[in-house]
Chain A
Amino acid sequence: MPLDVIMPALGMAQETGKLVQWLKQPGDPVATGDLLFEVETDKTVMEVEAQADGFLTQVSAGDGEDVPVGQVIAVISATADNALAAPATPAPVAAPESTPVLTSAVPTAPVAAAPESSDGRILASPKARRLAAEEGLDLGQLANAGVPMPYHVSDLTTLRSMPSAAAPGQPGIMVVTKQITARCSQQGARDFIDWMQADGAIKIPPNALFASFAAGAFRAATEAATVVVHVFDPDGDGAYLRNPDFTRLSVTPQETEEDATLVLHNLCDSFLTSLRLGDAGLPTLSIGADGDSYLMTFDFGGDHLEDAQAIAFVSGLARRLADPLHHLV
């Protein structure tokens, strides 16, 4: 069974790794434990070992290349055929202004922990195993990323920060696998807030504008009857706001005990630009400030909404923020 070779996550917040050099050439036979390639992170250069026996094929990243974590860069196959196949995964494209771009946060091919294809068991403490099972985490991801065994609870922090690769259709576990990012100018929203203050002496409470616009855009995209937004800012405890888009902006929206439809992280007054905390598997939007722009990041799963709905939601939100009068009509 062929095994994908992926760029490992060697640090907690690492997004790309620099492939310093291959230590095997395409078509070379490899054995489990052979040194395959060197990777440079922000801290160090590490050697990565082969996790299976076979031949190094389909090498899609060259020496010196920066590669997103999780991307397939080669395949260990049973034969030396296709040793030099074309790259299998396109590099992610940077998001242009105001244009939502759908990117996949996981490798296109599922990187299952197929124990029969690596050479043995995953070594982990009983406690780490139990917690991983309870959280639906796959310790095989750590193994595939080259994190040394045995795993302890501290390694779960690394695992949680890795893109989820749980098998599709796995019952009971919601997996956020898709991400949309967008950017728009802050000027429109600022002008609007100033105008409300000057013209109607209406002070818009913090979070209310975002919650209202997000709920409105979400309702427009999904035709949901009720939208409960769970709003966080980095210092706050969070509030559950029911249909904030039906509430006048001058009034603090009504809090509710209902389950959230959407999680919203307001990061504008912090140094954070986006975050993914796996909030109970809900669609999660973070809005951060980046210079004069708002940076929006939306994580969602296929079981939450269709790709088209998600794109419509983020587009609609960006349009509302860029020109708040859109929201009012």
Chain B
Amino acid sequence: MTKTTYRDALRKALLDAMAEDENVILMGEEVGLYGGAYGVTKGLLDHFGANRVIDTPISEPGIVGAAIGAAMTGLRPVAEIMYVDFAGMVMDQLANQAAKSRYMFGGQIGVPMVLRTQGGTGRSAAAQHSQSLEAWMMHTPGLRLAMPATVSDAYHLLRDAMRQPDPVVFIEHKGLYTLKGEISPDPDAPWGQPAIRRDGRDLTIATYSRMLHETLTAAAALAPEVEVEVIDLRCLNPLDDTVLMESVRRTGRCLIVTEAVTTGSVASEIAARVTEQCFDWLEEPPLRLGGEDIPIPVSPALERASIPDAMLIEEVARWLVTREAPSWAA
């Protein structure tokens, strides 16, 4: 099997879906002529023409509103918002229109659309272009939410997202577009289910998106002293957490690693569920390891320091299992 990139896997998902279903359309700022801010839609305008790959004005509420209308009237739009940070602009469309319509119209009208966007740090893009705002989406019933960490998931999760009857927010990571890997013939797990990326007996680490890779690096460094089970959540809504809970019951310890700020986060939600469902199996409280509760700094050094990395994950994981403080904390 040939290796491809996260970016090309996303493009292939769009290409395959558009070839299969002429109702699939793309819309967003610079998705056509320019090929997308991160190059995901490059070449698709030539392939499918301007009726199906639509460059829009710079108006995020307009893009999402138009996509909602298109979805209601039978198309399968994939809208793109360049940065998840612009969610503030589109939250009314998302939370009050897209998420509510199927419920409020008694199932007569759904909004089967995908909103592609990207988030996270790593490009020194500063406080308004580096956030991880998945918790806003997860907090809104009616929205589905997927966050691929691997090349194969970039393809399969996007294909799955385009098959859902509900609006799906699909958050890519700006630090992963050049990630290389293979697209496996089948998804690593069904839609809505996590995938175990590494087996271990001492500690379960739940994570998603780019932090999966930092976590896997840490897990490799910890072995064989500490054997970490690494669980990639993949989808945050729906989230069938059976695999996660089974893992935590085996290991008795759970660490949740995210790039998003820690307070009121996805990590907080997972920690609460683990406490509720695994209390009698826990050796330690579930621990959240997330970003600092600060605006993301523009300085590359400070930006890196504001989120977890493999070394910090390794130290916290070791502490959670052995209660031995890392050297810098002793």
Contact = CB atoms under 8 A, between A and B. Distances in A.
Nearest to B284: A125
Contacts of B252: 125, 127, 153
Interface centre among B279, B283, B284 (most CB of A within 10 A): B283
A133 to B, nearest CB: 9
Contacts of B280: 126-127, 129-130
Contacts of B284: 125
A152 B282 CA distance: 9
A231 to B, nearest CB: 33
Query: Taking chain B's interface residues, is the majority helix, strand, or loop, or is none over half, making it mixed?
Result: loop
A236 B283 CA distance: 34
B86 interface: no
A128 interface: yes
A96 B279 CA distance: 51
A252 to B, nearest CB: 40
Contacts of B283: 125-128, 152-153
Contacts of A129: 280
B255 to A, nearest CB: 15
B48 interface: no
A129 B279 CA distance: 11
Contacts of A152: 283
A125 B280 CA distance: 8
Interface string B263-305: 0000000000000000111111000000000000000000000
Interface string A118-146: 00000001111110000000000000000
A126 B282 CA distance: 6
Contacts of B281: 126-127, 130
A129 B280 CA distance: 8
B282 to A, nearest CB: 5
A130 B280 CA distance: 6
A207 to B, nearest CB: 36
Contacts of A153: 252, 283
Nearest to B275: A126
B329 to A, nearest CB: 19
Nearest to B283: A125
Contacts of B282: 125-127
Interface in A125-184: 125-130, 152-153
Nearest to B252: A127
Nearest to A131: B280
Nearest to A152: B283
Nearest to A125: B283
B152 to A, nearest CB: 35
Contacts of B279: 126
Interface in B34-89: none
Contacts of A130: 280-281
A142 to B, nearest CB: 15
A126 B283 CA distance: 6
A156 B18 CA distance: 60
B151 to A, nearest CB: 37
A129 B281 CA distance: 9
B298 to A, nearest CB: 42
B324 to A, nearest CB: 14
Nearest to A154: B283
Nearest to A133: B280
Contacts of A125: 252, 282-284
A267 B237 CA distance: 58
B228 to A, nearest CB: 18
A127 B284 CA distance: 9
A128 B281 CA distance: 8
Interface string A89-132: 00000000000000000000000000000000000011111100
A299 to B, nearest CB: 31
Given A127-B252, A152-B283, 18 more contacts: A125-B252, A125-B282, A125-B283, A125-B284, A126-B279, A126-B281, A126-B282, A126-B283, A127-B280, A127-B281, A127-B282, A127-B283, A128-B283, A129-B280, A130-B280, A130-B281, A153-B252, A153-B283
21 contacts: A125-B252, A125-B282, A125-B283, A125-B284, A126-B279, A126-B280, A126-B281, A126-B282, A126-B283, A127-B252, A127-B280, A127-B281, A127-B282, A127-B283, A128-B283, A129-B280, A130-B280, A130-B281, A152-B283, A153-B252, A153-B283
Interface of B: 252, 279-284
Closest 4 CB pairs of A and B: A130-B280, A125-B283, A126-B282, A126-B279
Interface of A: 125-130, 152-153
